[in-house]
Amino acid sequence: MSSLLLTFYDDLEAMAVSYTDKAGASVTATCLNLDEQSDSIQTMHLPCRILTFTQPDTAVIMSGAGSTAAWNITDLFLLESAARDLGTYVLKPVLKRYEVAYLEAIQKLPTARTLVHGWSTETQPLSVSMRAGKFEYPAQSGVWFYGVQCDIVLEELV
């Protein structure tokens, strides 16, 4: 059996997360997968989602029975530059609406619910933690954005 990890990244990239912005319009952020990222994000790219990883992955190798893996994926949503200095108090309602939209969208992914191993199909829980705030991207660049960091743990039998 091969890992679902790369398929899951592709599913996340294709996942549409539509939320309501400050003006009341419905917006869908574009998504940059692992192979599409650049060293900087310009205002014209916003809002956007960046698929990356910030935590170490773990695996347990079982004697004669394959292994289990816990893949840690970060889906970073950048709404707008902090240089515009609107402050989080203006953006908090938008960021919360984004979190709700994200949770609704990720529940519909087929790889998020069903894992196939050999002749069996298993349903595994998918852990998602979300944190709204100010984020530096790329790391140590001094460039800050308001957004939501969604940390996902995908567990599978490999």
Q: Say what the pLDDT of residue 19 is.
A: 96
**Cβ count within 10 A of residue 120:** 8
Q: Say what the pLDDT of residue 2 is.
A: 67
Q: Say what the pLDDT of residue 122 is.
A: 58
Number of alpha carbons in the 13 Å side-chain half-sphere of residue 132: 17
CATH class of 5-157: alpha beta
Q: Chunked in runs of 10, what are the mean pLDDT values of the chain (158 residues)?
A: 78 95 93 82 87 82 77 94 74 94 90 58 76 91 93 84
DSSP string, 22-82: TTS-EEE-EEE-GGG--S---GGG-SEEEEE--S--EEEEETTTEEEEEEEEEEEEEEEEG
Q: Say what the pLDDT of residue 147 is.
A: 95
* Nearest Cα to Cα of residue 101 among 138, 74, 128, 135: 128
Report which secondary-structure segment, H or E, holds 144: strand 144-157
Distance CA 89, CA 153 (A): 29
* Nearest Cα to Cα of residue 80 among 34, 37, 40, 48: 48
Q: Say what the pLDDT of residue 123 is.
A: 59
Q: Estimate to the nearest angstrom the gap between the alpha carbon of 118 and the chain centroid.
A: 28
Q: Say what the pLDDT of residue 111 is.
A: 65
